[in-house]
Amino acid sequence: MTMTDVNIDEILAPMPDKVKKNRRKHIVKKDASAGCRPQIEANTRTVPGIITQRGCSYAGCKGVVVGPIKDMLTITHGPIGCAYYSWGTRRNKARTDDSTPPDQIYSTMCFSTDMQESDIVFGGEKKLAKMIDEVVEIFHPRAINICATCPIGLIGDDLGAVSKAAEERHGIPIIHYNCEGYKGVSQSAGHHIANNQIMERMIGTGTEKVDGKYVLNFLGEYNIGGDAWEIERVLEEIGYTVGSTLTGDSAYATIKNMHTAHLNLVQCHRSINYIAEMMETKYGIPWLKVNFIGIDATIDTLRDIAQCFGDKELIARTELVIERELAAVTPEIERYQKICRGKTAFIFVGGSRSHHYQFLLRNLGMEVMVAGYEFAHRDDYEGREVIPTIKSDADSKNIPELHVKPDTEMYRPPHLRLKMSQEKYDELVASGVLNEYRGMYPDMVNGGIMIDDANHFETEELVKVFKPDLIFTGIKDKYVTHKMGLPSKQIHSYDYSGPYTCFRGAVTFAKDVAHSLSTPAWKMITPPWEQSITEQR
Ligand code: CFN
Ligand code: HCA
């Protein structure tokens, strides 16, 4: 069977009619000949009882966005499980620096009010207030985060009032997040709640201007396995100063002054677009969508950043660094390409990596046949235009607006968003003045499948149909595919590896993928589709 023969209705056939009808809207096959982008249903409620990979609002707020701020002590207000299971598994690394001594790093620790039955019945406000007093006395943090779990909203504890009173007692910022797990339909709601509070309570409260000719903030980069450090190494080499990341290896001490930077880079758009937008509105700081996953993607990104400043010296230095880094990694990449070339993969992750890693896999000669997100919104799937890149001064006259607002909920054709005719848009894309419209669908191979909120049944069925060589998953679906004789790589936390970003990260990734593909263990398992019924029993 070729990729284009795959029939989604047949895959869903065993489901009950109501579920089938629902799930059909979340799966789209790429058809390059159709010319337009089809719509996908996304960011809607998961079918109850289906085995989803999704997490909750608390996970998105505490686990993803605010937890990595290393010098803030983050308290989970709730029964112990939520704090325990969001402790350390994401591998968002942090280290000491000029603004943060070792005894002020709390992101590796786990703090919880450990609510018991009597607290749920009689209320947990007193317990929370007491805990704040205790952590201040023992740890002396600069600032505290308080994240709510489901029962807190249900019993009506007033986090705002407890935090305000404690701020008055202790004279430090105590920021609360009403990110009860049931809010919204996934982690995505928690990202938004965290973004609002970081913007409201942190950014712009500092008075120090970050020194540097070209100061960047790096939004939507969480330093998983050291990703941000590899990117910063290259950016600093070129001559940029990174004011702060959001939020990998970041500190309250520097987030306060982020409003003094020249440009915001946005790596994971899904989790942080709200702050990028708000900073542009409030402080006039433009933002640029970037991608440091994949060698070609990194090179394009470095060139785009340099073009934003338009300094000839900076542009020349960018080319020098690209040349030097490429020379160092190309022989190694070529070695691993021999193992990876022609192989196929699936990738299911949260809200941005399933698109970004398509580029790195292509650098290795691999193709992604099925790609899915847990909780992305429609524009992440259907695509959005990359910020127009001005290739020369003369070109800039052709573009009405340099920074284009992404439409996070509804799809509108890019030429309309850029306020120009379709002909003008096509002309600018063809001449290379505008970058192309990018996203999972536009960048996907023809016949490939794009899937939202995939469940275990669909994952298994798609594996049977496509028989990929490797699958990139999270912890929940990893072992399902192992049992099918398929090697999997954890693409949330990279198992125990990383960084995977930029140039050196691409080599580490290539090595890990090549190892997975050539491990003999997988050949010793016979996948069910190659077994007879009696063997399967
Ligand atoms: S580091 Fe990011 S890149 S922040 Fe987001 S959407 Fe999660 S924790 Mo897991 S790996 Fe994943 Fe993305 Fe942005 Fe990570 S793809 S699901 S909420 N994610
Ligand atoms: C989260 C965090 C997570 C979980 C990974 C997984 C991460 O969404 O709560 O399900 O394997 O990257 O740690 O996405």
What would the pLDDT profile of 88-106 be if each residue is shown by its tens digit? 999 999 999 999 999 999 9
CA gyration radius for the chain? 24
Nearest ligand to the C-alpha atom of residue 225: 1
Q: How far is the CA of 520 from the centre of ligand 2 (A)?
A: 28
Contacts of 461 (CB under 8 A, 6+ apart): 11
Q: How far is the CA of 349 from the centre of ligand 2 (A)?
A: 8
* Separation CA 421–CA 415 (nearest Å): 6
Residue whose Cα lies nearest atom 8 of ligand 1: it is 64
The ligand 2 site (C-beta within 6 Å) comprises 55, 59, 63, 89-90, 187, 350, 474-476, 492-493
Instruction: Give yes or no for residue 352 CB within 6 A of ligand 1.
Output: yes
Q: How far is the CA of 342 from the centre of ligand 1 (A)?
A: 27
Does 366 map to a domain?
Answer: no
Instruction: Give yes or no for residue 353 CB within 6 A of ligand 1.
Output: yes
Strands (E), 205-320: 215-221, 241-247, 263-266, 287-289
Grouping H, G, I as helix, E, B as strand and the rest as coil, residue 463 is helix
Q: Which of 54, 191, 356, 384 is catalytic?
A: 191
* Separation CA 377–CA 529 (nearest Å): 34
Does 103 map to a domain?
Answer: yes
Does 71 map to a domain?
Answer: yes
Q: Would you call 36 a catalytic residue per the annotation?
A: no
DSSP category for residue 92: B
Four-CA torsion 259, 264, 269, 270, nearest 10 degrees: -10
CA distances from 519 to 329, 482, 488 (A): 23, 13, 11
Q: Which of 59, 150, 194, 268 is catalytic?
A: 59
Does 483 map to a domain?
Answer: no
Contacts of 502 (CB under 8 A, 6+ apart): 230, 231, 233, 234, 292, 298, 325
Q: How far is the CA of 432 from the centre of ligand 1 (A)?
A: 31
Instruction: Give yes or no for residue 268 CB within 6 A of ligand 1.
Output: yes
Does 126 map to a domain?
Answer: yes
Q: What are phi and psi of 489, to 5 degrees?
A: -125, 130
Q: What angle do CA 196, 198, 203 make, to 5 degrees?
A: 120
Overall number of domains in the chain: 1
Identify which of 43, 191, 222 to mutate to test ligand 1's pocket (most ligand atoms within 8 A of the CB): 222
* Separation CA 217–CA 431 (nearest Å): 30
Q: What are phi and psi of 217, to 5 degrees?
A: -105, 150
- Nearest-CA neighbor of 176 among 155, 193, 160? 160
Q: Would you call 56 a catalytic residue per the annotation?
A: yes
| Segment (H or E) for 381 | helix 378-382
Q: CB of 250 within 8 A of CB of 67?
A: no
* Separation CA 210–CA 257 (nearest Å): 7
Q: What angle do CA 339, 340, 345 make, to 5 degrees?
A: 145
Residue 451: strand pairing partners: 27, 372
What would the pLDDT profile of 298-323 be if each residue is shown by its tens digit? 998 999 888 888 789 999 999 999 99
Supply 109's token pair.
């620790």
Per-residue pLDDT tens, the chain, 537 aa: give them. 566 678 999 999 999 999 999 999 999 999 988 867 789 999 999 999 999 999 999 999 999 999 999 999 999 999 999 999 999 999 999 999 999 999 999 999 999 999 999 999 999 999 999 999 999 999 999 999 999 999 999 999 999 999 999 999 999 999 999 999 999 999 999 999 999 999 999 999 999 999 999 999 999 999 999 999 999 999 999 999 999 999 999 999 999 999 999 999 999 999 999 999 899 889 988 888 899 999 999 998 999 888 888 789 999 999 999 999 999 999 999 999 999 999 999 999 999 999 999 999 999 999 999 999 999 999 899 887 654 443 334 444 443 333 333 333 333 344 554 556 777 767 776 776 665 567 899 889 999 999 999 999 999 999 999 999 999 999 999 998 988 889 999 999 999 999 999 999 999 999 999 999 999 888 787 777 677 766 655
Q: Which atom of ligand 2 is nearest to the CA of 86?
A: 9
Whether the predicted interface score ipTM is above 0.85: yes
Q: What are phi and psi of 526, to 5 degrees?
A: -95, 120
Q: Which of 23, 26, 37, 90 is catalytic?
A: 90
Does 370 map to a domain?
Answer: no
Q: What are phi and psi of 340, to 5 degrees?
A: -85, -30
Report the CATH number that the domain containing residue 65 is assigned in CATH: 3.40.50.1980
* Separation CA 516–CA 445 (nearest Å): 23
Q: Would you call 90 a catalytic residue per the annotation?
A: yes
Q: How far is the CA of 97 from the centre of ligand 2 (A)?
A: 27
Does 130 map to a domain?
Answer: yes
Instruction: Give yes or no for residue 292 CB within 6 A of ligand 1.
Output: no
Q: What are phi and psi of 121, to 5 degrees?
A: -75, -45
CA distances from 116 to 27, 84, 124, 128, 381 (A): 42, 15, 9, 12, 42
- Nearest-CA neighbor of 463 among 339, 370, 353, 335? 370
* Separation CA 423–CA 2 (nearest Å): 35
Nearest ligand to the C-alpha atom of residue 190: 1
Domain span including residue 128 = 57-201
Nearest ligand to the C-alpha atom of residue 440: 1
Q: How far is the CA of 491 from the centre of ligand 2 (A)?
A: 9
Does 529 map to a domain?
Answer: no
* Separation CA 80–CA 78 (nearest Å): 6
Nearest ligand to the C-alpha atom of residue 68: 1
The DSSP-derived string for 351-367 is: SSHHHHHHHHHHHTT-E
